[in-house]
C-alpha cells in the first residue's frame, strides 16, 4: 500500500517549484491562481527570493503548501494514494491532495493560519527546542515538572522530540533534559511556541475559518496529527484540524499506524526530504521515495 506524506515548515528553498512552472501548463496556471488569491507574487519569491524572504511566516507556509499540492496535481494518474498524512502544515496539503479541500480553500486557510500564528507569537516570548536521545515519556515527565508552560510538541521519530513553550520554561527544560541524559537539547530558531497552549489565540481564529470552509468526502483516508488514526469523515477531519495548532504533532504514532494497516511505500510530496528520513527512523523496513512528475 502507498502512503503519500507532505512536509511542513522548514522544507522551503530558493527556486522551489520553478521546474514545475517551466514545464507544466497546469502548474503554471495554479501558481498564477495562488498569486491572485494571496494578493502578492508568492511565485516570484519562491523562484527568486532569498532564504530570508522565504523564512517569513506569511511566505513559508503558503509556499510549501503551493509546491506540495501543485506537485501532487501534476503527477496526474500516477498519484494513487491508499492513504495520506502531513506533518503539521503538511496536513493541509494532504487534505487538498485527497480531495477533501479545494486548492483555493486550502490556500486561504494556510494563509490565515500563518497570519494567526505570527500574531500569537508576538504576544509573549516563546520558542521550541529539539531533544535527542531520550524516551518520549521521560521528556514528557520532565516538561511537566518544569515551572512555566512547556510541552511535547512534535513526536518526529523515536529519540527525536521537539518541545515548545515559554522561552524561560523551554530553557529550564533543556537543562533538566541534558541532566537526565539527553544527547542534545537544542533551542530552535523559530518565532514562537507552535503546537503548545500558547497558540490558543491562533487556534480560535483559525477554527472559525475552518468552520466556514467546505470539507468534502476524501478519495482516501488521512492520518491526522491530532488523532493518529485513519479518518475519512469530513466533519471529523474538520474538527481534528481545528485543534491542530495547540495539540502535538504525533508523527511517529501516525506513521506506525499507517504501517500497521499495510503501508509499505512512503512517497514524500513537496520540497525537501525530511519526512523520508523520519519514516526510515520510525521503521527501517519502510520503502521511501521522492515524488516525481
Cite the active site residues: 88, 195
8 A C-beta contact, residue 185 and residue 177: yes
Burial of 46 (0-12, 13-18, 19+ CB in 10 A): buried
Q: Which residues of 180-252 form beta strands (DSSP E)?
A: 184-187, 222-223, 230-231
> How is residue 127 written as a grid cell?
520558542
Torsion of the alpha carbons at 287, 291, 292 and 293, rounded to the nearest 10: 130
8 A C-beta contact, residue 100 and residue 237: yes
Q: Which residues, listed in sequence order, are joined to residue 161 by a DSSP beta bridge?
A: 131, 155
* Residue 93 φ then ψ, to 5°: -60, -45
State the Cα–Cα distance between residues 272 and 14, nearest whole angstrom. 11
- The DSSP symbol for 217 reads P
8 A C-beta contact, residue 128 and residue 163: yes
Beta-strand relationship, 184-187 and 126-132:
antiparallel
State the Cα–Cα distance between residues 237 and 218, nearest whole angstrom. 10
Amino acid at each position: 500500500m502507498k502512503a503519500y506524506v507532505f512536509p511542513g515548515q522548514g522544507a522551503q528553498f530558493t527556486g522551489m517549484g520553478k521546474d514545475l512552472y517551466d514545464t507544466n501548463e497546469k502548474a503554471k496556471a495554479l501558481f498564477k491562481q495562488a498569486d491572485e488569491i494571496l494578493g502578492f507574487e508568492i511565485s516570484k519569491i519562491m523562484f527568486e527570493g532569498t532564504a530570508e524572504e522565504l523564512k517569513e511566516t506569511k511566505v513559508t507556509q503558503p509556499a510549501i503548501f503551493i509546491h506540495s499540492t501543485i506537485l501532487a496535481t501534476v503527477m496526474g494518474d500516477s498519484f494513487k494514494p491508499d492513504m495520506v498524512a502531513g506533518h503539521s502544515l503538511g496536513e493541509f496539503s494532504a487534505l487538498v491532495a485527497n480531495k477533501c479541500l479545494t486548492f483555493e480553500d486550502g490556500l486561504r486557510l494556510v494563509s490565515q493560519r500563518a497570519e494567526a500564528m505570527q500574531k500569537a507569537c508576538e504576544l509573549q516570548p516563546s520558542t521550541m527546542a529539539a531533544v535527542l536521545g531520550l524516551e518520549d515519556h521521560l521528556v514528557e515527565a520532565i516538561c511537566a515538572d518544569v515551572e512555566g508552560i512547556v510541552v511535547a510538541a512534535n513526536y518526529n521519530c523515536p529519540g527525536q522530540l521537539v518541545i515548545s513553550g515559554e522561552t524561560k520554561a523551554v530553557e529550564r527544560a533543556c537543562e533538566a533534559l541534558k541532566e537526565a541524559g539527553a544527547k542534545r537539547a537544542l533551542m530552535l530558531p523559530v518565532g514562537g511556541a507552535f503546537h503548545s497552549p500558547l497558540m490558543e489565540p491562533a487556534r480560535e481564529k483559525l477554527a472559525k475559518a475552518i468552520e466556514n470552509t467546505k470539507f468534502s468526502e476524501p478519495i482516501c483516508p488521512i492520518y491526522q496529527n491530532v488523532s493518529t488514526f485513519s479518518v475519512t469523515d469530513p466533519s471529523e477531519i474538520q474538527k481534528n484540524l481545528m485543534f491542530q495548532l495547540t495539540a502535538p504533532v504525533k508523527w511517529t504514532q501516525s506513521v506506525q499506524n499507517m504501517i500497521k494497516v499495510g503501508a509499505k511505500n512512503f512517497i514524500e510530496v513537496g520540497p525537501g526530504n525530511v519526512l523520508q528520513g523520519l519514516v526510515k527512523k520510525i521503521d527501517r523496513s519502510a520503502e521511501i521515495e521522492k515524488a516525481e512528475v
